Structure 1
Amino acid sequence: MTIAVPRETTPGERRVALVPGAIERLVDAGLTVAVEPGAGSAAGYPDAAYEAAGARVTEGAVDGARVLVGVRAPTVEQVGRLDAGAVTVSFLPTRSELELVKTLRDKGHTAFAMELVPRISRAQSMDALSSQALVAGYRAAIVAAEKLPRFYPLFMTAAGSIPPARVLVLGAGVAGLQAIATARRLGAVVQAYDVRTAAAEEVRSLGAEFVELELPVLEGAGGYAREMTEERSRKQQELLAPYVANADVVIATAAVPGRTAPLLVTREMVEAMKPGTVVVDLAAEQGGNIAGSVAGEEVTIGNALVWGAMDVPSALPGQASQLYATNVSSMLLLMTTEGVVQPDLDDEVLAGCCVTADGEIRHEPTRSLLEEES
């Protein structure tokens, strides 16, 4: 049974779904892996390393494969080259990929979306959202430090003292916590806010101050944040305004799985920022936490420089790929019995992230979207 690792086709995407170390695990489990030439080159993994790990490097890796793994969703063309009833494992943003989902369904393929992996103990090694958020949070703090026209740490010199930069992190999930930790290591004074009060302990453990607003707690299933009402959103923005105005750096990381990112900072709040403020919006691709941010672009609004993040993990492709490959290979091994990939859709983890199987849409929100469309 062949697992295909194609080159990523999305412009700017430098990650690869499987690295040589992960392929060794799969080969040891009796699986065959075929890799397209150059699939790992941008991430620092040459073809020779894949061959040494036991993979076959071939331009026709996808043709007739039973399993296709990827970082981004597969293309319709790739799906058409797979064996009947194949398995695909990748990120699969169903809201923007409805035509692809229909193709996967119509061809009888079993498609798994890495962003839907349940947040339970058993699935931690497969939690790709967390592994890639770790990379994004670190990178966000570094980018902000590079663009900020002042020091991060406190300096006390014969020429005078320079106070530390003030960093405000919005959202204290994996990305936010890593941004906090990195900014603290660089010497900044950090404040952080999250709608989940349970995040307060983690924020404080990193040496940051947790911003507490007088609002109802919003925490959904699995520890994720959930959507809020428009009235509550306005109140949150109003209460956050003084913290935003006082910050030298604002790093926004808040996201609700499968939904548009919540707007935390309005245009008026951005325009009220002090000169030299740097804003990093990690949620720009999901609609943005910051009004005016544009994914993949750097814009100036009032006194602030606003950097709209796009595919941030690709900036550190080697280690981002290493982490993601562990997630993917762990999922494949969960599906594997005696050298054959046979997904058990009664398994809680696999059922939770399965989008299509047996000619049906199994992911309820996606099925509802398709019904609305028709």
Structure 2
Amino acid sequence: MTGLLVIAIPKELAPGEQRVATVPDVVRNLKKSGCEVRVEHDAGAMAYYTDAAFTAAGATIVSDRDALLAGARIVLAVQPPTVAEAEQLPEGTIVIGFMNPAGNIEAIKKMRDRKITAFALELVPRISRAQSMDALSSQATAGGYVAVILGAEHCPKFLPMLTTAAGTIRPSTVLILGAGIAGLMAIATAKRLGALVEAYDVRRAAGEQVRSLGAKFLELEINAEGQGGYARELTAEEKIKEQEMVSAAVARADIIITTAAIPGRKAPVLVTKETVATMKPGAVIIDMAAETGGNCELTQAGRTVQAHGVTIIGPKNLPAKVPFHASQMYAKNLQSFLTLLVDKNGVLVTEYTDEILTASLLVHGGQVRHQPTKDLLEKTP
């Protein structure tokens, strides 16, 4: 094994995290590229990837975290490193994963001071050649699926129309607010379960995608297309018009799934407490933006609350609820990203000149390279 590029996969320690940063199929491909792959004992257990499966794929199972990281040039992770985890990393280590730059400042400082190189997958640009590396999209797909299953679990009604000897049961109405990657997956899943599906997004371009999935797109004469495929923030007048239309749709829905988010900002409120009071008893809200403030005014992150007979769920880390496939997709994203860092002979590139690497480089050489994070760091005592 001496002389090979060592890639280490630690076990995720964040509460509720069941994913793992690589899977046996990807390990096989990394081995073919001339890399040594070390996996911490039971790193994949919660995602149902066993140590035996990793060993069969060519990985080395390591029980001790220090031994795992000793000599490792690249560390692949799902959750952002904590300060304690950053302290364990040897100087010069390359860490790739989600970094949550705005919410993990102390760990970023620690990585900077220890001269760690960190690539943040949430900063990968949304360009065509980076699609296979887009972990935000792959995990949003998993989250959108789980949101519908969670809504169906808490809804007191059948989702599909049923014709029975006891009479005909009308299908439930599912409303999706926000037709990005998560929203589109939620639409497709709800349709497969037989529900009537309506969807709204401030980006008019999303209407074609919504209709192609068989859902009704709620039209409003607003074009809020922003940069990078995200929505811009609405004006005060636009927000009033939006609220009126959304409120009417909310009142007739049995399940509402909200997905609206603005990068680096608090989630916009789409469902006010007054609107909740107009909803049907037994209706369910799944707020996918709970961790950034929530699209529903009554959402509490990580909790399920009741108001006016409505169940409001603020889930955290929905992709971790389907860890097997979420890990599989995430591992493929990382495998694609590594092709920019490691050549076919298992040799690391020395210059990060590729536009994808440049955009996603968070910390390198004792400096914070991502300007918004650098600005935030300078403002933090």
What is the alpha-carbon distance in structure 2 between the residues aligned to residue 270 and residue 315 of structure 1? 27
Contact 1:192 1:203 in 2 (8 A): yes
SS in 1 for 2:86: helix
Q: What 5-or-longer segments of structure 2 have no aligned partner?
A: none
| Aligned-residue RMSD, C-alpha | 1.4
Give the structure 2 partner of residue 111 of structure 1.
Answer: 118
Contact 1:26 1:333 in 2 (8 A): no
Contact 1:5 1:68 in 2 (8 A): yes
What is the alpha-carbon distance in structure 2 between the residues aligned to residue 122 and residue 10 of structure 1? 31
Contact 2:340 2:354 in 1 (8 A): no
Select which of 184, 189, 195 maps to 2:202.
Answer: 195
Specify whether residues 269 and 200 from structure 1 end up closer, same or farther in structure 2 by C-alpha distance, changes over 3 A only.
same
Select which of 271, 289, 292 maps to 2:295.
Answer: 289
Within a 5 Å distance, the mapping from 1:258-337 to structure 2 comes to 258-337=264-343
SS in 2 for 1:340: coil
* Mapped pair 1:7 → 2:11: yes
Give the structure 2 partner of residue 49 of structure 1.
Answer: 53
SS in 1 for 2:68: coil
* Mapped pair 1:339 → 2:375: no
Select which of 204, 214, 229 maps to 1:223.
Answer: 229
SS in 2 for 1:61: helix
CA deviations on 1:271-295 (whole Å, 9 max, x unpaired) are 2211110110111011111111122
CA deviations on 1:180-223 (whole Å, 9 max, x unpaired) are 011111111111001111110000000001011233x1122221
Instruction: State the 1:82 CA deviation.
Output: 2.5
Give the structure 1 partner of residue 129 of structure 2.
Answer: 122
**Which amino acid counterpart does residue 221 of structure 1 have in structure 2?**
Q
Contact 1:62 1:82 in 2 (8 A): yes
* Mapped pair 1:31 → 2:32: no
CA deviations on 1:77-120 (whole Å, 9 max, x unpaired) are 33223232211101111111011111111222211111111111
CA deviations on 1:243-272 (whole Å, 9 max, x unpaired) are 111111100011122322111111111122
TM-score of the pair, normalised by structure 2: 0.94
Give the structure 2 partner of residue 84 of structure 1.
Answer: 91
**Which amino acid counterpart does residue 268 of structure 2 have in structure 1?**
P
What is the alpha-carbon distance in structure 2 between the residues aligned to residue 108 and residue 278 of structure 1? 47
CA deviations on 1:49-71 (whole Å, 9 max, x unpaired) are 11111111112212342111110
Give the structure 1 partner of residue 82 of structure 2.
Answer: 75
What is the alpha-carbon distance in structure 1 between the residues aligned to residue 131 and residue 370 of structure 2? 21
SS in 2 for 1:35: strand
Which of 245-254 and 351-360 deviates more?
351-360
What is the alpha-carbon distance in structure 1 between the residues aligned to residue 340 and residue 242 of structure 2? 42
Instruction: State the 1:234 CA deviation.
Output: 4.0
What is the alpha-carbon distance in structure 2 between the residues aligned to residue 266 and residue 64 of structure 1? 53
TM-score of the pair, normalised by structure 1: 0.96
Give the structure 2 partner of residue 19 of structure 1.
Answer: 23
Give the structure 2 partner of residue 171 of structure 1.
Answer: 178
Instruction: State the 1:19 CA deviation.
Output: 0.7
SS in 1 for 2:327: helix
Instruction: State the 1:40 CA deviation.
Output: 0.5
Instruction: State the 1:332 CA deviation.
Output: 1.3
What is the alpha-carbon distance in structure 2 between the residues aligned to residue 147 and residue 373 of structure 1? 41
What is the alpha-carbon distance in structure 1 between the residues aligned to residue 109 and residue 234 of structure 2? 31
* Mapped pair 1:363 → 2:367: no
**Which amino acid counterpart does residue 69 of structure 1 have in structure 2?**
L
SS in 2 for 1:326: helix
What is the alpha-carbon distance in structure 2 between the residues aligned to residue 314 and residue 280 of structure 1? 16
